[in-house]
Amino acid sequence: MRPFDYQRPDRLDHAADLAREGGKAIAGGTNLLDLMKLQVETPQTLLDINRLPMAQIAETDGGGLRIGALASNTACAVDPRVRRDYPVLSRAILAGATQQLRNKATTGGNLCQRTRCYYFTNIDQPCNKREPGSGCGAIGGFNRIHAILGASDECIATYPGDMAVALYALDAEVEIAGQRGSSRTLPVRQFHRLPGDTPQRDNNLEPGELITGVVLPPPRAGKQLYRKVRDRASYAFALVSVAAIVEMDGDTIRNASLAFGGLAHKPWHDPRIDAVLSGARPSDALFAEAADLLLEGAEGQGHNDFKIPLARRTLLAVLREATGGAA
Ligand code: SF4
């Protein structure tokens, strides 16, 4: 690990100033410290934001729930309001990492975690994300965990998290603080980026901006599911995951909101899938149509070809469970 300066601001505006000057925010450090040890990340200044008052989970005036950026993953997953009203979020968080990591990992940090692409974390290998213009070791290399949707010629990495997949299904918003007291809100579905020709950028945070919280909308009716397919039963990233919120009205789907993990550089949400399901009667043909929409344009890279049928089967299984089975 390379030497670095260490700052502990206790005011948000001071933290934003230091971030604009190049300080790298650290909270739980469950991803960043690993990357620093590997010299994938080499910040000049570490900006410890743990003194900022951003760990609260509180109800909003609009009937939703605001989760502070520094609320730990454990605190969020076990919060009685989250378990009761947003079980897809609790289940997604508990499907990730280990208890020790969830105790330290934070809501803001979880959103900003970086890909686990093998070539990204090995500084002896080419990687456009780590070093723009150096090439992509995964294209033509070993790419079992890589993207089948939304990839580019520059990068085929996947976003590794679970929590954000549930937040996409919930259509949450991200609160962001900028310079001189400015703030903005971004729909979480617009927070992460596809790689395009700038794979070094994982998300749409601008330099100097910090996440301050995540706002969940008022609870939705219906069944909430999170299904994660992985190589082992715990402490493994998703090969495919599905977060689903499905409300039935008799034998018809009243509303559906689905998001997918493990498939792309960002959690995947396709509004056409929600639209085709909402108002329709469950059937194998309907579920197949939803899967066709999901996998339209899906492309394997060789070792990860299996993800295409796996994503289809996982989606069908989730829809059958959420609707009580096909007609
Ligand atoms: Fe780097 Fe992306 Fe290629 Fe992985 S897939 S080596 S992160 S450019």
Asked whether the beta carbons of 207 and 283 are under 8 A apart, the reply is no
Q: Which of 249, 302, 293 is nearest to 268 (CA)?
A: 293
Rounded to whole angstroms, how far apart are CA atoms 53 and 248?
40
Tell me: the pLDDT tens digits for 105-115? Answer: 999 999 999 99
Residue 154 CA, closest ligand 1 atom number: 8
Which of 41, 149, 156, 194 most suits a substitution to test ligand 1, by most atoms within 8 Å of the C-beta? 156
DSSP letter string, 299-316: ---STTTTHHHHHHHHHH
Q: Residue 123's CB: how many other CB atoms inside 10 A? A: 13
Please tell me the pTM assigned to this model: 0.98
Per-residue pLDDT tens digits for 63-82: 999 999 999 999 999 999 99
Instruction: Output the average pLDDT for the chain.
Output: 97
Residue range 168-177: mean pLDDT, rounded: 98
CA of 93 to the centre of ligand 1 (A): 25
Residue of the CA atom closest to atom 7 of ligand 1 = 120
Determine which residue's CA is closest to atom 1 belonging to ligand 1: 127
Judging by beta carbons within 10 Å of its beta carbon (0-12, 13-18, 19+), is residue 53 exposed, middle or buried?
exposed
- The phi, psi pair for 302, rounded to 5°, reads 115, -85
pLDDT of residue 326: 61
115 Cα nearest atom in ligand 1: 7
Strand pairing category for 210-216 and 173-177: antiparallel
Domains contained in the chain, CATH given:
223-323 (3.30.390.50)
Cα gap 134→123, rounded to integer Å: 11
User: Is 6's pLDDT higher than 80?
Assistant: yes
Q: State the Cα–Cα distance between residues 154 and 129, nearest whole angstrom.
A: 8
Q: How many whole angstroms separate alpha carbon 20 and alpha carbon 50?
A: 18
Mean pLDDT of 129-145: 98
Separation between Cα atoms, residue 200 and residue 153, nearest integer Å: 13
- Reference 287, options 277, 295, 297, 296; nearest CA is 277
Pair 118, 42: CB distance under 8 Å: no
Angle ∠(311,312,316) on CA atoms, nearest 5: 115
CA of 286 to the centre of ligand 1 (A): 35
Query: What's the mean pLDDT in 23-38?
Result: 97
E strands within 73-144? Answer: none
Rounded to an integer, what distance in angstroms lies between the CA atom of residue 17 and that of residue 22?
A: 9
